[in-house]
Structure formats: structure tokens, C-alpha cells
Chains A and B, each alone.
Chain A
Amino acid sequence: DTAVSQTPKYLVTQMGNDKSIKCEQNLGHDTMYWYKQDSKKFLKIMFSYNNKELIINETVPNRFSPKSPDKAHLNLHINSLELGDSAVYFCASSPATSGANVLTFGAGSRLTVL
């Protein structure tokens, strides 16, 4: 069973379209994240949710809207896609304990905007 699963793994779309990436974790973790990896492989956090509550929003354009229907799911919806949105998007989760919360990552979703 995949611990953190993302769908789709690949997404090719035209500029201006709206698209969603879904993420689900079966680890029982309380915190979920979205990270963006750009063409130079740089990884940067976008959002984090703790038990459905938004905790971190790292100055991401409001065209990006995360939605967490329950603590096992964190979806990412992107409106009016732009060329610069092309990237690999990683979902991750971690337990909300007092120790070092090791993040478990999904396999990534490669978004290509044409």
C-alpha cells in the first residue's frame, strides 16, 4: 500500500486552464504539505495543513487553492494556469508529535503547461 499517493502523476494542459492534483495518505498523519520542485530541482514549501487547518501559506499566488476535506487528504487546485506553473508538485505528510517530524513524500505530479 502506497503511504502517500498523488494523482495524476503526469498532467499536460494549456495555459489558462484549471487543474487539480489529489493527495491521500494512509499513515494516520495529522500534517500534510504541498511542495513545488522547479526545473532546477529546487524544492520549496507551498502549504501545510494540520488536521484540516491551514498552517503555512508561503506567499503562493491565490490561483493556488489547497483543500483538505479530512486529515487524510490534501488536494491542490490551480486556476488560470501559467507557463511558470510547470513543475513537479510533491505532497507529503508527517505526524504531529513533538519529535522531528519526518516527512513522507508522495511520488510527485509533473505538471506541464503549454
Chain B
Amino acid sequence: AQTVTQSQPEMSVQEAETVTLSCTYDTSENNYYLFWYKQPPSRQMILVIRQEAYKQQNATENRFSVNFQKAAKSFSLKISDSQLGDTAMYFCAFMKRNFGNEKLTFGTGTRLTIIP
């Protein structure tokens, strides 16, 4: 079974600063995907970024980027130029590649607060 660990329950940074959220996972699979989801106070789960394990290049989406270290089973999220709207719970998630039978395994989340 896969496990996802987020060791930072809470973080806070000043607006415009850069912040990195940590995530490690444990799996014996070789084909899988990793995701970061954001859950703002509205409760909606929003996909931030995803990474295919077979790709060595780190995924980026505007101010969001990841540092994917496959051998170390580490998948951290970097948020650059943080904005007040980035305040949310952030969940790291793992998905084994299994056609038609995928499921997301989530970490326990990191509550990020951006301070004005």
C-alpha cells in the first residue's frame, strides 16, 4: 500500500515570499503520478500541479513548481511570489497508474497562511 507523508502541519509566510511545502511518499510501484491539490476555505479541491513519475523534468505551472526526487521519493511544492489567495490547505497525493481503477492517496495536508 502507498503512503503519503506531509511533515509540516502548518506554515506561514509573508506575501511575495517563496515557500516550499514538503511531501514524501512510499511505494514499490514504478508507474505513478503525483499531485498537489489546494483546498481554500471555500472547501473546493483544486488541482495545482501534477507530475508523471517517468518524467525527470520537474513540472511547473506559473508560480508553482515541484522538486521531484524519484529515488528519494520526495515531491515538494514551491510557491513563488506568494499571494493572499494562496492561503489554503495543500494536499500532496499519489496515484498508481492503473487504467480505470485509479485512486488518489492523500497526505494529511499542510495549512498555509500568507500574511499581508
Co-complex (A, B):
yes
Q: Considering only CB atoms and an 8 Å cut-off, how many residues of chain B contact the other chain?
A: 24
Binds B, one of A13-21, A38-46, A63-71, A72-80: A38-46
Secondary structure class of chain A's binding surface, majority of residues = strand
**Which A residues from 28 to 63 make CB contacts under 8 A with B?**
30-31, 33, 35, 40-45, 48, 50, 55-56, 58
Q: Contacts A42-B108, A102-B50; is A56 near B103 (CB within 8 Å)?
A: yes
- Cα A74 to Cα B47 in complex, Å, equals 21
- Cα A110 to Cα B95 in complex, Å, equals 25
A113 close to chain B: CB less than 8 A: no
Q: Give chain B residues whose Cβ lies under 8 Å from the Cβ of A105.
A: 44-45
B64 close to chain A: CB less than 8 A: no
Tell which of B39, B47, B106 touches A102, judged by Cβ atoms closer than 8 Å.
B47
Q: Give chain A residues whose Cβ lies under 8 Å from the Cβ of B102.
A: 31, 48, 94, 101
Q: Which residues of A come within 8 Å of B, CB atoms?
A: 30-31, 33, 35, 40-45, 48, 50, 55-56, 58, 88, 90, 92, 94, 96, 98, 100-105, 107-108, 110
**A-B CB contact pairs (8 Å), 28 listed:** A30-B100, A31-B100, A40-B108, A41-B39, A41-B108, A42-B106, A42-B109, A43-B104, A44-B106, A48-B103, A50-B101, A55-B100, A55-B101, A58-B103, A88-B43, A90-B45, A92-B45, A100-B33, A101-B95, A101-B102, A102-B47, A103-B47, A104-B47, A105-B45, A107-B42, A108-B43, A108-B44, A108-B45
